[in-house]
Chains A and B, each alone.
Chain A
């Protein structure tokens, strides 16, 4: 083939590939600057008992999951059974951050759908959420043994995310030194 034909063809294919990648990216997924950094320190009243404090210290020491949820969040309802399935496996404790919710609403929601959390911090103002860079509920963080945030999932967890992403991540981190 002649150069005059090949070059525009290559340019066209390169451009088409670039646009195809761009079209298939999810624009609502923003990479978190928190990945690879220590979980921000926080302490807040516990959801179930305002007298007790839940602190980020409690999350450190073992591979853990931190899930941001709210009773007003419809996708949270959708992901809940998958969180329950993860809790059932017992490979990592799941901590909760009750985000911008009324205490009674959050507790009623848990009573209805099941409380899968090993501990829940109550963040009515969204201050902790802001420190964690939360911009859409639900969000799920995986934290390694040293308290470093290693993975963040934005949006509801489905069967595929659970089995192909979250569980492999947790297993890998559990095997790390």
Chain B
């Protein structure tokens, strides 16, 4: 084995060595149990960072997002439930802090508006289509009109008969 081959042979074990840290158990990040950490991640995904509106507090590193994450962490460690933590944030920042707003009086339009509009569209389309069909069926021709229609149809048919 020449030196180059030997060196190449060494590369793979060395690269595999880099993967070792990933085999370690997931860091608890200050929590007592993995499920607490999972709850923390889920909750930070569904809370909005109000200073940086498009982002959740999990996605943001803004000062306010970090404060809110610290608070969520503290509440989880205190043993509060997910619902209690959500209520805690809503009491301070309002429903807007939730990416999934609750269904209630002021949010009915938000939740059901699109479906209502779709229903209105479908109903008016249906009504219009029916009216058009009714109009087409109801037409009654007078004798003169029937005569003219027959002439027109005959004129149309002629070129086909004598090409």
Interface residues of A, Cβ cutoff 8 Å to B? 27-28, 30-34, 100, 125-126, 129-133, 135-136
Contacts and interface: CB of A to CB of B under 8 A. Distances in A.
A88 B9 CA distance: 81
Contacts of B92: 33-34, 130-133
Interface string B35-51: 00000000000000011
B93 A126 contact: no
Contact of A30 (B63, B64, B93): B93
Contact of A130 (B53, B71, B94): B71
B84 to A, nearest CB: 16
What is the interface of chain A mostly: helix, strand, loop, or mixed? loop
Nearest to B50: A135
26 contacts: A28-B53, A30-B94, A30-B96, A32-B94, A33-B90, A33-B91, A33-B92, A33-B93, A33-B94, A33-B95, A34-B92, A125-B67, A126-B63, A126-B64, A129-B67, A130-B68, A130-B92, A131-B92, A132-B92, A133-B93, A133-B94, A135-B50, A135-B51, A135-B64, A135-B93, A136-B51
What is the interface of chain B mostly: helix, strand, loop, or mixed? helix
Interface string B45-63: 0000011010000000001
Nearest to B91: A33
B67 A30 contact: no
Contacts of B96: 30-31
Nearest to A4: B128
Contacts of A27: 53
A42 B103 CA distance: 32
A122 to B, nearest CB: 16
B104 to A, nearest CB: 13
